[in-house]
Structure 1
Amino acid sequence: MEKTYKLKDLILYFLKLGAIGFGGPVALVSYMHRDLVEKHKWITEEDYKEGLALAQLAPGPLAAQLSIYLGYVHYRIIGATLVGLAFVLPSFLMVLGIGYAYVKTGGLPWMQAVFYGIGAAVIGIIAISSYKLSKKSLGKDWLLWGIAIIVAIATFVTEREILWLMLAGGLVVWLYKAPPKFISGKATILSPVLLQITTAFTLNGKLIQTGWFFFKAGAFVFGSGLAIVPFLYGGVVKEYQWLNDQQFLDAVAVAMITPGPVVITVGFIGYLVAGLPGACVAALATFLPCYLFTILPAPYFKKFGKHPSVKAFVDGITAAAIGAIIGAVFVLGKRQITDMLAAAIALITILVLLKFRKLQEPVIIVVAAILGLFIKSWL
């Protein structure tokens, strides 16, 4: 498929998505499909599915990796680089501003009230997004649905994304639909596993130490913000004691109330640890691995992506990825929906989105934030 758009069009789209795209990785990857595949038709369904599968296989934040891959599809390295920067920059600037205010005021007491309303609405938004993504990608294929359901249950029970299940999903569909006539390089499958090996390597200097920790966070953690949060907590709170529990929870809340990738919370954490330099180092170190692990295998993914065996493997990986996303919805819902009012906000959000399909998500987020402040302040 020849490109029907200019690179600046894609950059502007991802600047906008990074500025107003709420809902975390589930919603963001759904928005990309809705806008770039269905609406504008800039990206084919196959390219999108290949990008989603590669993003799920490689370490790092799912939505950011998919954006980098979609930039690579027609504009290669320059497209991947500029699109990735455009997607991350708006939310990074926002968390810098919030971090500055947080330090100056000694905390954000209103944040929990705002997050109460927004968090409940976000559950509704991502529930609808995952439903649409499942319906579109899985269709009526019982095998793909079976894989998605198994991975969803596993994700919900363990509260983490399991790499070997992702690989197993691809292998099952591969062997069932297109028994292989060749064996691909083992490094493609083994490299993500090897990347999970931890290291005790330490360096002097807070900025270097910060950069190394967040590089590991980006390189060793697979999937969405749901997967990276426990890794960050173990490091910044337990190991290095850069933040206390409340500061860390506030950092997660900042990530949820700002648009763009949830992992941008690393910018807020980096700011609290070492100011502006800390924020820049943390963000760069976290996103650098996912950038490299997207653009380096991308040419081979494009070259062999149409092969029946590879296509079957990608379909299985995609089904497993959707299952993990569905499981994450339930995990987030369990944590966020703590009372009847929160449940009501989530349910109303779902009903409103089903009724008014063209309603923009930021409108719902603003209303939910106001409701949260009202409920916590007056009720």
Structure 2
Amino acid sequence: MGRVTTAPQTRPAPVGFAEALRFWLQLGFISFGGPAGQIAIMHTELVERRRWISEQRFLHALNYCMLLPGPEAQQLATYLGWLLHRTWGGIVAGALFVLPSLFILVGLSWVYLRFGHLPVVAGLFYGLKPAVTALVLHAAHRIGTRALRNRWMWALAAASFLALFAFDTPFPAIVLAAGLIGHFGARRWPQVFTLGGGQGSAKASYGPALIDDDTPTPAHARFSRRRLAQVLGIGLGLWLAALGLLTIQYGWQGALTQMGWFFTKAALLTFGGAYAVLPYVYQGAVEQYQWLSGGQMVDGLALGETTPGPLIMVVAFVGFVGGWGQQVLGPEALFLGGALAAAVVTFFTFLPSFVFILAGGPLVEATHGRLGFTAPLSAITAAVVGVILNLALFFAWHVFWPQGFAGRFDLGACAIALATGVALFRFKLGVLPLLAGCAGAGLLLSSLPGLR
């Protein structure tokens, strides 16, 4: 929906909890297009059309979410829901942003494992895998154009690529090193690590908003040490209780317990979006724990690209495949075991996001100036570009040489990847029509083996 030409002069009526719940549920089913598309939908609906919040307050909340590890669009929904309807408003908004994607991915993961060997399903994935390779490369370019603003940032990206590609450095070590470089480097060369532009500034008025620029901070959004301690205590308590129950039931080395522990760490490392943390998920889920194969990881990312919700929800696919393969509930309950593992992984991945918003929101509302301490994030984002480029090469290796370098080079997959790259970089084609076309091309090529 475009910008309005004549701004209304009256403030909208207060929003009831039931009305907000309906909107958050609808958003959960239509939030395609990655974080940029999801944030654009929320801006159109909440700032322009419904005027629940002013653009300045919307951007202020978004800038905070951009500084956090985790999916910024889901965190923004949680923040806005909390601002409108207190703690339960934030929990409902954040949960409904994720749950539709979880249920859809559980169903698609079951179809993948149960029927993935069928020619039709295999043909669809044959076209989706090279498309994912191009999408990851495009993500590296998109983040790079924003993050690599000088030769020092380029050097940081190159160093992170070499650390991962040549030395197999763990992803957390790369994040920590980049953060330290940003923290100490900014003291000596602040201009190098200045975060550029943020998300822009408000450029238009859409009329008075329910929560406007000059609206006093609601009572529940005012900072207090007591409330901060409560939120942190409850968040830590929920995490300890969930991990403790899994340990009691399955032991510390049990698959579900290890999933909870591993994806807690992953949730705290998702600076730069889902593509940034995927190398870490690959290192753990594929190489260390062997919950799934490298090829299955590529397939899972393809499924994640086709569903609503944050792309990091690909972890639900990882959990489902791992729970199915590990038979966490026994060989007679493979689907239930996979669904339970997907739910466990989702819980531990998103719990920190809720804590960050509910604990940090009052601190953000206390100031409407620019947030400080961005230098570590700036350095981490630059390093993430190299990490994502390494991921693109990893996917290309699995897709173009499915039997390894000693095997045959797949010309059909390469052609689909090149066409996808042209569609993304030259024609800016949307993800969903792009994936649909690639799936159709894969189905065609797989039915004509002579062309592959």
Partner of 1:58: none
2:177 is aligned, of 154, 165, 181, to 165
SS in 1 for 2:149: coil
Q: Which moved more, 1:296-305 or 1:316-325?
A: 296-305
1:103 offset after TM fit, Å?
6.3
**Structure 2 equivalent of residue 184 of structure 1:** none
Which of 50, 72, 91 aligns to 1:66? It is 72
Tell me which of 320, 338, 343 is aligned to 1:279.
338
CA contact (8 A) 2:250 2:256 kept: no
8 A Cα contact 2:134 2:392, kept in partner: no
- The aligned residue for residue 185 of structure 1 is none
Q: Is the 8 A contact 2:127 2:439 kept in 1?
A: yes
Residues 1-379 of structure 1 aligned to structure 2 (within 5 Å): 9=23, 11-17=25-31, 20-21=32-33, 28-32=34-38, 47-48=61-62, 50-55=64-69, 62=70, 65-76=71-82, 77-78=87-88, 80-101=90-111, 107-108=117-118, 110-135=120-145, 137-138=146-147, 140-157=149-166, 158=168, 161=171, 162-175=174-187, 176-177=189-190, 202-205=247-250, 209-221=254-266, 222-223=269-270, 224-233=277-286, 237=290, 249-250=295-296, 253-258=299-304, 259-260=306-307, 261-265=313-317, 266-271=319-324, 273=327, 274=329, 275-298=334-357, 299-300=359-360, 303=363, 309-338=372-401, 339-357=410-428, 359-379=429-449
Q: Would you say the 8 A contact 1:68–1:81 is kept in 2?
A: no
How far off is 1:365 after superposition? Answer: 0.8
**Within 1, Cα distance between the matches of 2:175 and 2:141?**
22
Equivalenced residue count is 334
Larger radius of gyration: 2
**Structure 2 counterpart SS, 1:278:** helix
Q: CA deviation at 1:159?
A: 7.5
Shift of residue 257, structure 1, vs aligned partner: 2.8
Superposition deviation, residue 30 in structure 1? 4.7
Equivalent-residue separation in structure 1 for 2:296 and 2:436 (angstroms): 19
- Residue identity matched to 1:231: G
Seen in structure 2, the aligned counterparts of structure 1 residues 106 and 362 have a Cα distance that, compared at 3 Å, is closer
Cα separation, partners in 2 of 1:160 and 1:255, compared to 1, 3 Å: same
Partners of 1:34 and 1:253 in 2: how far apart?
27
Query: Contact 2:320–2:339 (CA<8 Å) still a contact in 1?
Result: yes
1:108 deviation in Å? 4.5
Identity among equivalent pairs (%): 17
TM-score (norm 2): 0.60
Superposed displacement of residue 120, structure 1: 0.8
Deviation, 1:141, is 4.0
Q: Give the match's secondary structure for 2:68.
A: helix
Higher relative contact order (Cα pairs below 8 Å, separated by 6+ residues): 1
The one-character-per-residue Cα deviations of 1:304-360 (angstroms, maximum 9, x if unpaired) are: 796775133333333333443343333323333333332221221122233433x33
1:114-134 CA-partner distances (Å, limit 9, x unpaired) = 222111112223323332333
Please, which moves more after superposition, 140-149 or 119-128? Answer: 140-149
The answer to whether the 8 A contact 2:260-2:344 is kept is yes
**Distance in 1 between the 2:169 and 2:432 partners?**
28
TM-score with structure 1 setting the length: 0.69
Contact 2:91 / 2:354 at 8 angstroms: preserved in 1? no
- Report the CA distance shift for 1:80/1:30 in structure 2 as closer, same or farther (over 3 A): same
Q: Secondary structure at the match of 2:156?
A: helix
Q: Is the 8 A contact 1:165 1:320 kept in 2?
A: no
Q: Is the 8 A contact 1:225 1:263 kept in 2?
A: no
- Return the offset for 1:286: 1.4
Asked if the contact 1:170/1:316 (under 8 Å) is kept, the reply is yes
Q: Which has the higher helix share?
A: 1
Measured at CA, do residues 330 and 171 of structure 1 come closer, stay the same or move farther in structure 2, by a change above 3 Å?
farther
CA distance in 2, matches of 1:143, 1:37: 34
Closer, same or farther: CA 73–144 of 1 in aligned 2, 3 Å: farther
Q: Give 1:160 deviation, angstroms.
A: 5.2
What amino acid sits opposite 1:281 in the alignment?
Answer: L
- CA 1:263/1:12 → structure 2, altered by over 3 Å: closer, same or farther? same
CA-CA distance at 1:296 after TM superposition = 2.6
Over aligned residue pairs, what C-alpha RMSD do you find? 4.3
User: Could you tell me whether the CA contact under 8 Å between 1:169 and 1:320 is conserved in 2?
Assistant: no
Deviations 1:185-209 (A, max 9, x none): xxxxxx9xxx9xxx9x954459x94
Q: Which amino acid aligns with 1:376?
A: S
Letter aligned with residue 316 of structure 2 = I
Q: CA deviation at 1:267?
A: 2.8
Deviates more, 1:362-371 or 1:335-344: 335-344
1:349–1:364: 8 Å Cα contact kept in structure 2? yes
Distance 2:447 2:397 in 1: 24
> For 2:116 and 2:396, how far apart are their aligned partners in 1?
29
Structure 1: distance between partners of 2:344 and 2:81: 24
